Amino acid sequence: MPMTPNKKRILILSKNRELKDSIQAIIKTQVDMLLVDLKAEEKSVLPEIAKLSPDVILLDYEYQKKGIFELVDKIATEYQGSALVVVLPEGEMSNTDRIILSGARAFLIHPFKEENLLNTVRRVMELMTRNQLIPHAAADDSIERPKNTFTVFSPKGGAGTTTVAINLAIALHQQLKEDVLVIDGKHLFGHVGLCLNLRTGNSITDLLAHIGLMDSHMVRQVAVRHVSGIYVLPSPASISEAQGIRPDDVFKMLQTLQNVFPNIIIDGGSYLSEDTITYMDSSDRIILVLNPDLASIRDVHQFMDIAKSLSYPPEKTMLILNLTGRKADVKREEIEEILKMKIFGRIPADENLALSCLNEGVPIILKNPGHQISNSFREIAKGIVKVLQENQAEYSLKTKTASSEALIKSSKLG
């Protein structure tokens, strides 16, 4: 019997015979996929998953009527080598956020087309393979060059990721005297262009449409230079364009952009999607924005659990406390105690200034350079510059050490 070592193992968890049969019929036609069967009773599912070690788990949202989110969290946490995809009925689309926040790699709306199922499965397999390269590289002592890429994200809407991303990019450009690119990673409802009053038809889709032909010349033509000196890659102009963006293409695009721009800031927004995770995977650090209130703290605490399931080291996350200085705020010390992390920087609140800057399309750091908010962005930028310098120093040391060891080894051989 021929061996099939390259086939990806697919496990279906569903009690819906019709759904299960339809998925099986599609998977069986694929030469690069192999169905594995779960023979245990429901109470023994988790140990059986450990035995089967599937590459992808397709979990029916209705597999467990109660506690489905807890089940998703448990599978995602305990079996990080398996990419979890949740199949949701159309009537449960409102729960897509909770599914992703619980640890699923992707979701699939049922009923679905064959191509949608296969594209989703292959997409998560690619993402898992890409992430698994990181520990292998460490084990092989290969050295990864710092990307100088930061994703600004908040699990709670309205935390101010766009404001932080834009003003921080300008502050970095002013201090580094280098090009800084801002990517509007909120492909749906992005506001970077609006906040900068950019009048352009260029967007991220102009690059993604030519992903195989991208070069520095094309990138420079599409990226828009703002009066502040930073470059901007706006979000798509239409919802249909945004919905067609694939994580694989985002990853390839970002690799090219990192070779063109020495520094990149991504506005990741507050919606945790496959595209957002792709941006995070490709970033040196995640700038996690939170407000000094209990809801924001709770959401950040949940995100930190997700970060662990994605194998992100603790130092990859930097906490920025935004909209501080109000009487009812939770104290900084209490936040650090709850989250078990130090606050990297704080930004005071001034709702009138923030609103006028939004309406005028002028960033705070340009409209009022002497304001305490502008000073806060400059202080945070100084901290990030220090991180960049430390990363570069560590990279140079590792490169020098590796070169010396290679020279010694070659001398011994010959």
136 pLDDT tier (thresholds 50, 70, 90): very low
State pLDDT tens for residues 49-72. 877 888 899 999 988 878 888 888
Residue 393 pLDDT > 80: yes
3-class DSSP assignment, residue 89: strand
39 versus 332: which is more confidently predicted?
Answer: 332
Q: For the chain, which domains are there?
A: 8-139 (3.40.50.2300), 149-385 (3.40.50.300)
What does each C-alpha distance from 299 to 95, 270, 290, 295 come to in angstroms?
Answer: 16, 10, 9, 6
pTM (predicted TM-score): 0.69
Determine contact, residues 312/286, Cβ cutoff 8 Å: yes
Report the largest interatomic distance among the alpha carbons of the chain, rounded to a whole angstrom: 74
Q: Where are the alpha helices (DSSP H) in 140-273?
A: 161-176, 192-195, 205-208, 216-222, 239-243, 247-260
State pLDDT tens for residues 249-307. 999 999 999 999 999 999 999 998 889 999 999 999 999 999 999 999 999 999 998 89
Determine contact, residues 304/317, Cβ cutoff 8 Å: yes
pLDDT of 408: 57
Residues 6+ apart with CB under 8 A from 140: none
Distance CA 344, CA 127 (A): 29
pLDDT of 171: 97
Tokens 């979890």 found at: 84
